[in-house]
Amino acid sequence: MSTVTNVDRAAGAPGEPAVPRLSRVRLPEFPSAPVRIVHLGLGAFHRAHQAWYTQLADPDHEWGIAAFTGRSPQAAVDLDAQDCLYTVVERSADGDSATIVGSIVEAWDGTEVARLHDLLAAETTAIVTLTVTESGYRLDAEGKPDTSDPAVEHDVALLSEAFAERADLRDARPTTTLGRLLIGLEARRRAGVGPIAIVPCDNIADGGALVRRAMLALADRVHPETARWIADEVSFVSSSVDRITPRPTPADEATAATLTGFADAAPVVTEPFTDWVLSGDFPAGRPAWESAGARFVDDLEPYEQRKLRLLNGAHSLLAYAGPLRGHTTVAEAVGDEQCRAWVEEYWDETERHLPEGLGLTAYRTALLERFDNARIEHRLQQIALEGVTKLRVRIVSTLLAERAAGRPGTGSLRVIAAWVAAVQGDDRPGDASGAAVAEALRFQGRERTAALVRLIDPRLLDSEPEDGSTLVTELEHLVDELTGRPRNP
């Protein structure tokens, strides 16, 4: 890996800009490796995490990544214009350092299904990684494809017809991530080129098993023979990922150019800390990610639960409670003594339900230091997106365990109360479940609160006496406390 703070610029032709754009011609130490990994969900986090690890673990340039965008093609456009090179700026409390990364060798709009088809049909492709956010899988509360989602139903109908007629799958245009992945896996099955590993890298518990169930359910509806092949030939690897990476800003381009001497339209800014823990099999091989600091374990659950509940759970608390107190970033919110006390209260509850031996005291201290890094402008508005799915994954388990133990779970319940307050406000956070949230908001009073809670997880009410009446009352008191608005009797 080339880590730079000052790079000698390659001489440009007359008329070229003073700061030349990144390119593999100017930087021959970054040859294009053959594609062995396909990534779905090309965004800042993938570039700061999995692609960064891959370059560090691949000094011989044997593991190139072909990455496909999710919602917007812009990242692919920007990367393609600079030979898929980009800058990772590590921002500590003391200053910035920069690393040029070249492990991504192809960048595609997510709609380019024909290229995805061909890559997964190639024997040399060994791994598919995904970063599409929790809601990007479009699953229901049971972890199955959400059949009430029009995009899911569209893909089921489209793919059922295409598979039944053995049509050229390159021409199909599924719109969901799992629909596109199913096209690729069917292409691999038809090509007869052997097994492959799928590695979800989102903040979901036991992601490998979850995505396996979802893919099997989708494939079974579309083409049962494909479902049987997936069950036999595809390995689903779970992973816990961690590196705070805010959404890029225009100012990041100037920072990258100053540090490297090259213009970069697609830099990412991230914290120095990074962690990647994986559990599962790679039947077609993998990079030596452990040489870059990744860990491979037999039991991933303790690590991912520690991260999901402590880091991500606290992020959700700050994302919804912080703006109610006038804050816009994580550092601002955690610097507020009241918000910090709420985080500690929530962590105390959560710690009771995590295994021993995880070094939780030191982990909590380190998290606060990371949150305090004001130079990482991690905006609360970004974290607040997709609250329905995130709270289901991050908060519900602790709250259910607290209530089952006869405790109110106030710290966990406050996270949900802050979300309830946020979605009832004028600046409602974006959510893939936005239509369902809007429907719940049509109710009034306690019925509205109950409908919102049920959206997150029906068990929160169904496990309580009197259909959760007490929980709803406690929740409404917390909403009042957070908003400072007394409820009408």
Give the tens place of pLDDT for each residue, 110-162.
Answer: 999 999 999 999 999 999 999 998 888 888 877 888 888 899 999 999 999 99
Average of per-residue pLDDT values in the chain: 93
| Backbone phi and psi for residue 281, each to the nearest 5 degrees, phi listed first | -105, 150
Task: Outline which parts of the chain fall under CATH 3.40.50.720.
Answer: 2-296
In angstroms, the CA 475 to CA 445 distance is 12
Say if residue 294's pLDDT is above 60.
yes
Average pLDDT over residues 49-66: 98
Task: Outline which parts of the chain fall under CATH 1.10.1040.10.
Answer: 301-483
| Backbone phi and psi for residue 101, each to the nearest 5 degrees, phi listed first | -115, 135
Average pLDDT over residues 58-71: 96
Contact criterion met (CB below 8 Å) for 285 and 126: yes
CA torsion 317→320→321→325, rounded to 10°? 150
* pTM to 2 decimal places: 0.88
- The CATH class of 301-483 is mainly alpha
CA torsion 66→102→383→127, rounded to 10°? 40
Asked: is 2-296 a CATH 3.40.50.2020 domain? The reply is: no
Give the tens place of pLDDT for each residue, 364-410.
Answer: 999 999 999 999 999 999 999 999 999 999 999 999 999 999 999 99
Terminal Cα-to-Cα distance of the chain (whole angstroms): 64
Per-residue pLDDT, 486: 59
Give the tens place of pLDDT for each residue, 93-104.
Answer: 999 999 999 999
- CA 263 to chain centroid, in Å, comes to 27
Give the tens place of pLDDT for each residue, 473-487.
Answer: 999 999 999 998 755
Per-residue pLDDT, 13: 43
Assign 489 a pLDDT band (cuts: 50, 70, 90).
very low
Residue type, 29: E
Contact criterion met (CB below 8 Å) for 334 and 368: yes
| Backbone phi and psi for residue 292, each to the nearest 5 degrees, phi listed first | -100, 5
Say if residue 239's pLDDT is above 50.
yes
In angstroms, the CA 213 to CA 220 distance is 10
If one compares 79 and 137, the residue with the highest pLDDT of the two is 79
Partners of 279 in the beta sheet? 238
Contact criterion met (CB below 8 Å) for 220 and 59: no
In angstroms, the CA 443 to CA 451 distance is 8
Assign 187 a pLDDT band (cuts: 50, 70, 90).
very high
Contact criterion met (CB below 8 Å) for 149 and 166: no
